[in-house]
Chains A and B, each alone.
Chain A
Amino acid sequence: MNVAVVTFPGSNCDQDCHRSVELAGGEPRYVWHRQRSLGGAEAVIVPGGFAHGDYLRPGAIARFSPIMDAVVAFAREGGLVAGICNGFQVLCEAGLLPGALLRNRSLRFQSHDCRMRVERTGTAFTREYREGQVVRMPLSHADGNYYAGSGTLAELEGEGRVVFRYSDARGGVTPEANPNGSLNHIAGIVNRRGNVLGMMPHPDRAVEEALGSADGLPLFESLVRAGAGSREAACADAGATAGASAAAQAAR
């Protein structure tokens, strides 16, 4: 599973994502933002950081980096794309995910562990989690306050596209458990087809116990296995049915 990790000037979690993919059994590769091709990647990660200094708005300038045309085309063809933290902001700006990330309600840069409830396990990014599982990982952002218009929000909820929701340790969605003011406690969403994920917390900083939590590793394992599954399906005629059901599942 060949995973492209996009590096912008100002990215600072590209190495974390690279290592996370390795630990999950995939083959990561850095792709510099000025490149125009993903070079045959089977999945793409847009990592955290401060791409282009977050000038204007986080992600606003990064979405026009040369590599983004390839990332958008890859996503439109159904390729798996995960945006973490600043990567989530980039994917929203690029129009691959709905909504926007506003300044935190506290106006502060929040940097601490958070807990989230896994709301959807049927996606290519969350298969290795249990539904309702509470996971712990760090968050680190000034602009993580998820906002979408009421119509979009209703769609996200109605179509089960909220993948992670901020919660307390028991999975309770309480006001105190919402670190940034996100509407409906949204921490991560997928697009309608299910092949593009955006999330503010950092699974890439929680992939081994030495980091304080390994709760992020299943996300990368899900991604790597989903990619391997689709490749096998594409290689064999007999796999066509499996591929179709995987695609149907991804499209949910």
Chain B
Amino acid sequence: MSRFTVEVLVTPRPGLLDPQGKAVHSALASLGYEDVKDVRVGKAIYLEVAAASAAEATERVEEACRKLLANPVTEDYRVTAEGSR
């Protein structure tokens, strides 16, 4: 068993109104960042997972995403397992 740091990025689904992203977008625009055309705000979750391989750690965490970490109605997620230690 190795330990993997697994990063989960949870983001609002495309097309869904993201009020936080909109607020940040307009704040950036007022700071002069007119070149920023869109902002989406999500969240990052980091898990330390004991698993035989990165693929196994990823699979476990994807299951956890479906059950708990993301809401399938409103959010997408991306799971990345990083190097064993």
Q: Which residues on A are within 8 Å of B, measured CB to CB?
A: 56-57, 60-61, 64, 92-93, 98-100, 102-107, 145, 147-149, 181
A107-B23 contact, Cβ under 8 Å, with A102-B17, A147-B16, A181-B17: yes
Check B71–A93 contact: CB distance below 8 A: yes
Hey, what's the 0/1 contact readout for B13-43 against A, CB within 8 Å counting as 1?
0001101100100000000000000000000
* Known contacts A99-B73, A100-B74, A148-B73, A64 near B23 by CB under 8 Å: no
Q: What are 20 inter-chain pairs, A to B, with CB distance below 8 A?
A: A56-B68, A56-B69, A60-B71, A61-B68, A64-B68, A93-B71, A100-B73, A100-B74, A102-B16, A102-B74, A103-B20, A105-B17, A106-B19, A107-B19, A107-B23, A145-B19, A147-B17, A147-B74, A149-B73, A181-B17
Question: Which range holds the interface residue count of chain B?
Answer: 10 to 19
Whole-angstrom distance between the Cβ of A190 and the nearest chain B Cβ: 18
Contacts of B17 in A (CB 8 A): 102, 105, 145, 147, 181
Bound-state CA distance A163–B22 (Å) is 30
Beta-carbon contacts under 8 Å, B46-83 to A:
68-69, 71, 73-74
Given contacts A102-B17, A103-B20, A107-B19, contact A147 B71 (CB under 8 A): no
In the complex, number of A-B residue pairs with CB atoms less than 8 Å apart: 37
CB neighbours (8 Å) of B16 from chain A are: 102, 147
In the assembled complex, how far is the CB of residue B1 from the closest CB belonging to chain A, in whole angstroms?
26
With a CB–CB cut-off of 8 A, which chain A residues contact B69?
56
Q: How far is the CA of A156 from the CA of B63 in the complex (A)?
A: 29
Given contacts A147-B16, A149-B73, 18 further A-B contacts (CB under 8 A): A56-B69, A57-B71, A60-B68, A61-B68, A92-B73, A99-B73, A100-B73, A100-B74, A103-B19, A103-B20, A104-B19, A105-B17, A106-B19, A107-B20, A107-B23, A147-B17, A148-B73, A181-B17
* Residue of A57, A93, A107 ringed by the most chain B CB atoms within 10 A: A57
Assembled-state Cα–Cα distance A164/B76 (Å): 30
Docked pose: A105 CA to B16 CA in angstroms: 12
CB distance from B27 to the nearest CB of A (A): 11
Cβ–Cβ < 8 Å partners of A64 in chain B: 68
Residues of A within 8 A of B23 (CB): 107
Which residue of chain A has the shortest Cβ distance to B74 in the bound complex? A100
A61 CB contacts on chain B under 8 angstroms: 68
**Please, which residue of chain B has its CB at the minimum distance from the CB of A59?**
B71
* B73 closest partner in A (C-beta): A100
CA distance A56 to B68 in the complex (A): 9
Q: How far is the CB of B65 from chain A (nearest CB, A)?
A: 11
